[in-house]
Structure 1
């Protein structure tokens, strides 16, 4: 695929999409993580400045449509801690195993979500990542490695992580402590060579992204996409429970 422009039109909290019903704002939630106070703030923002029918995207982000005052929304998001970096807000695309650290999985991936998000924001070069480039952090259960993210890691039983590019195992094995730094380096190299490409799959050759990294395992393995979401009563490791709920058509009403 040959792109005609360098930057994609993927919306964010500041780079909005002008739809027929008004401005569309997309708020990145790395790893799908949000506090109760933040989701209450989102509901208030949606009620006050846009459509109360908030939309959950396939990447775990939230959209608010029909926004009437984008400056006021940006200020409210900043106050709620949902817009920590104006320069990198569209680059914070991280999908992670949602039950990690609670039930199942090989490792608790949540600390890596926080570390990766901070590392993205701290790297000036990564402000140049297209809004469609995304990272995946799979805790070993295989629930997000099948979504074909651009760069990701998949935790393994032997204590290492497999490095994935475009959803395929590169054969490179990493210590968990090196996972974030490696993903950041891959993303930085992508920015340097991408031209007008928005995704790794659009590169004619992505071997430069793996310079200095040695494959020690077979390459090319993929994971099937997860088709059954974690909905229902889920027992946690700490003897408490998680309640998984589904949103019809991905719509969450602010009042709810």
Structure 2
């Protein structure tokens, strides 16, 4: 007759294992090592210890409405509270104001004014101004950090935020209500079948996202045009 392991022995073993994992977890966290992968698997080398700080620029888009203004003030308050705490890799801050004109918060927080979309192009959905605002900011502003956090006024920093990006692998928050498969017909216009199933598309928005700001492409595979004089003017730090 096979031996039956008593239930108490099994439970005791589980408790011992749990306590062991909890005991070693702090030491692993101190070394910036990851115990598990996120939703989308990370490349193996991304789990290695970080040797230097990689600051990211905090940028959010905003309107001139009172609702947006008070959200920005709260967000900026908590940004300043957490920015310089241990573990933070938060860099400078920019509110990208896509109203086309300055407002009364210009002296309260760093603000960059850009133009809104031409009348009617947002189709009544003001959020469509966000990508156009980022394009104008990136084309015109001087950004010292190599990485950018695309944020929104209703984001509040609860803890110092490290840079979770590894090289060219961005990091974003997965939203349960974003379901690419439900819009398969539209998505296939930009994500053809040869690129894989629609389920390969991450359920993310444009924020919160931390992404690297590359000055140029480092390889030419699958590219159509080489802007070769760009490399004569700028270095890999995107400086003249």
Instruction: Output the TM-score relative to the length of structure 1.
Output: 0.24
Instruction: Output the TM-score relative to the length of structure 2.
Output: 0.25
Answer 1 or 2: which has greater strand percent.
1
